[in-house]
Amino acid sequence: MIARRTALLAAGASLLIAPRALAQAAAPSGPFTLPPLPYAASANEAAIDAQTMEIHHGRHHAAYVANLNAAVAPHSQVAAMPLEQILARLAEMPEGVRTAIRNNGGGHANHAMFWSIMGGRGGEPSGELATAIARDFGSVATFREQFERASTTVFGSGWAFVTVTRDGTLAIAQKPNQDTPLMEGGRVLLGNDVWEHAYYLRYQNRRADYVRNWWTVLDWEKIGARYASAKAGTLTI
Amino acid sequence: MAFTLPSLPYAHGALAESGMCQETLELHHGKHHQAYVTALNGFVEKDANLQGKSLEEIVKMSYGKPDMAGVFNNAGQHWNHNLFWPCMKPNGGGALPGKLEAKITSDFGSLDKFKDAFKQAGATQFGSGWAWLVVGKDGKLATAKTPNGSNPLAEGTGTAILGVDVWEHSYYLDFRNRRPDYLTNFLEKLVNWEYVDSLLAKA
Q: How far apart are CA A25 and CA A44, in angstroms?
A: 35
What contacts A207, CB < 8 A, 6 or more positions away? A151, A152, A194, A196, A199
A156:B32 CB<8 A: no
Whether B119 is covered by a domain: the verdict is: yes
What contacts A135, CB < 8 A, 6 or more positions away? none
Sheet of strand B141-147, all strands in order from the earlier edge strand to the far edge:
B141-147, B129-135, B159-165
Residues 38-97 of B with CB under 8 A from A: 69, 73
pLDDT attached to residue A80: 97
Q: Are residues B115 and B198 in the same domain?
A: yes
Nearest CA in chain A to B34: A205
Band of the pLDDT at A11, cuts 50, 70, 90? very low
Q: How far apart are CA B173 and CA B14, in angstroms?
A: 16
Q: Is A174 on the interface with B (CB under 8 A)?
A: no
Q: Are residues B34 and B113 in the same domain?
A: no
Whether B4 is covered by a domain: the verdict is: no
Residue A3: other Cβ atoms inside 10 A: 7
Give B127→chain A minimum CA distance, Å: 5
Q: Is B167 on the interface with A (CB under 8 A)?
A: yes
Whether B6 is covered by a domain: the verdict is: no
Secondary structure of residue B5 in the 3-state scheme: coil
Give B3→chain A minimum CA distance, Å: 21
Whether B81 is covered by a domain: the verdict is: yes
Residue B1: other Cβ atoms inside 10 A: 9
pLDDT attached to residue A3: 39
As for the ipTM of the complex, it is: 0.97
Residue where a domain terminates, one of B87, B115, B137? B87
Q: Are residues B77 and B118 in the same domain?
A: no
Q: How far apart are CA B85 and CA A169, in angstroms?
A: 48
Q: Is B149 on the interface with A (CB under 8 A)?
A: yes
Band of the pLDDT at B166, cuts 50, 70, 90? very high
When scoring B172, B173, B175, B181 by the number of chain A Cβ atoms within 10 A, the one with the most, hence best to mutate, is: B172
pLDDT of B10 higher than 70: yes
Residue from the list A158, A201, A205 with its beta carbon closest to the beta carbon of B31: A205
Q: Average pLDDT of A174-190?
A: 98
Band of the pLDDT at B11, cuts 50, 70, 90? very high
pLDDT attached to residue A30: 85
Q: How far apart are CA B151 and CA B83, in angstroms?
A: 11
When scoring A153, A193, A205 by the number of chain B Cβ atoms within 10 A, the one with the most, hence best to mutate, is: A205
pLDDT attached to residue B1: 74
What range does the domain containing B41 cover?
A: 20-87
HSE-up of residue B108 (Cα within 13 Å, Cβ side): 21
Band of the pLDDT at A1, cuts 50, 70, 90? very low
B200 near B133, Cβ under 8 Å? no
- The CATH number that applies at residue B64 is 1.10.287.990
Q: Could you report the per-residue pLDDT of A20-48, keeping only the tens digit for each? A: 333 333 344 789 999 999 999 999 999 99
- The CATH number that applies at residue B140 is 3.55.40.20
Q: What is the mean pLDDT of chain B?
A: 98
Q: Is A159 on the interface with B (CB under 8 A)?
A: no
Q: Could you report the per-residue pLDDT of A111-139, keeping only the tens digit for each? A: 999 999 999 999 999 999 999 999 999 99
Q: How far apart are CA B79 and CA B55, in angstroms?
A: 7
What contacts A154, CB < 8 A, 6 or more positions away? A160, A174, A175, A176, A194
- The CATH number that applies at residue A133 is 3.55.40.20
What range does the domain containing A157 cover?
A: 127-232
The amino acid sitting at B97 is P
Q: Are residues B66 and B111 in the same domain?
A: no
Give A160's strand partners: A174, A192
pLDDT attached to residue A29: 73
Residue from the list B149, B173, B176 with its beta carbon closest to the beta carbon of A55: B176
Q: Could you report the per-residue pLDDT of B113-128, keeping only the tens digit for each? A: 999 999 999 999 999 9
Give B149→chain A minimum CA distance, Å: 8
pLDDT of B189 higher than 90: yes
A205:B167 CB<8 A: no
Where are any strands of DSSP class E within B22-136?
129-135
Q: Are residues B78 and B105 in the same domain?
A: no
A20 near A80, Cβ under 8 Å? yes
Which helix (H) or strand (E) segment holds residue B104: the answer is helix B98-108
Residue where a domain terminates, one of B87, B117, B138? B87
Using alpha carbons, select from A164, A162, A161 the residue that is nearest to residue A178: A161
pLDDT attached to residue B169: 98
B184 near B119, Cβ under 8 Å? yes
Which helix (H) or strand (E) segment holds residue A73: the answer is none
Residue from the list B69, B147, B172 with its beta carbon closest to the beta carbon of A196: B172
Give B168→chain A minimum CA distance, Å: 6
pLDDT of A6 higher than 60: no
Q: Average pLDDT of B102-123?
A: 98
